[in-house]
């Protein structure tokens, strides 16, 4: 593979797919350990991981925290009054710049956005929601759903 040659899933060979399966579940494994599992040297694994990162196929390496002790999580569905490119672009920027919004999806159907929000309390959320959504004239409605418990949370994408 040439540098930055990985653009899509079909560009990956079997070794790349195996490496990605492994690091999606535990990116703290050593190159030697991964290499032993997939049948490559540690240096070959290191080169492949560097190419996957440099090409943007691996977007980021993160630690996933247990959320049970860190406030309240909400699913917020947002509907726009007047749909326009400018309103969506402005809201997209607001999503990206607001740390309490962990995930933001522009979706199809009667709702325009689905957001995952994390905050310290429901009292906090009431005020935050007013400032964030009610102050935006483009938003017609936002529906909030408290997450009682998580039954499945997976970050690994099946390859």
- Say if residues 142 and 128 touch (Cβ distance below 8 Å): no
Instruction: Report pLDDT for 3.
Output: 47
Contacts of 3 (CB under 8 A, 6+ apart): 51, 54, 55
- What CA–CA distances, in Å, run from 29 to 16, 19, 37, 48, 145? 15, 10, 11, 15, 37
Note the pLDDT tens digit of each residue in 82-92. 889 999 999 99
Instruction: Report pLDDT for 70.
Output: 83
Say if residue 38's pLDDT is above 60: yes
**CA dist., res. 118 & res. 106, Å (int):** 18
Longest dimension (CA), the chain: 57
- What CA–CA distances, in Å, run from 112 to 4, 5, 79? 34, 35, 5
Whether the CA torsion 21, 24, 25, 27 is positive or negative: it is positive
Confidence class of residue 1 from pLDDT cuts 50, 70 and 90?
very low
Note the pLDDT tens digit of each residue in 103-147. 999 999 999 999 999 999 999 999 999 999 999 999 999 999 999
Average pLDDT rounded to a whole number, residues 40-66: 92
**CA dist., res. 15 & res. 102, Å (int):** 32
Contacts of 78 (CB under 8 A, 6+ apart): 91, 111, 112, 113, 114, 115, 133, 139, 141, 142
Helix (H, G, I), strand (E, B) or coil at 18: helix
Instruction: Report pLDDT for 7.
Output: 65
């Amino acid at each position: 593979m040439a540098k930055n040659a990985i653009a899509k899933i079909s560009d990956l060979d079997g070794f790349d797919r195996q490496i990605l399966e492994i690091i999606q579940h535990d990116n703290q494994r050593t190159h030697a350990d991964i290499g032993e599992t997939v049948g490559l040297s540690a240096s070959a694994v290191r080169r492949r991981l560097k190419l996957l990162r440099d090409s943007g196929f691996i977007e980021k390496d993160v630690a996933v925290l247990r959320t049970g002790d860190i406030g309240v999580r909400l699913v917020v569905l947002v509907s726009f009054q007047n749909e326009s490119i400018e309103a969506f672009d402005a809201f997209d920027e607001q999503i990206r710049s607001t740390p309490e919004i962990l995930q933001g999806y522009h979706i199809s159907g009667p709702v325009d956005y689905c957001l995952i929000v994390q905050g310290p309390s429901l009292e906090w959320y009431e005020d935050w929601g007013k400032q964030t959504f009610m102050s935006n004239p483009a938003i017609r409605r936002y529906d909030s759903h408290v997450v009682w418990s998580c039954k499945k949370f997976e970050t690994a994408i099946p390859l």
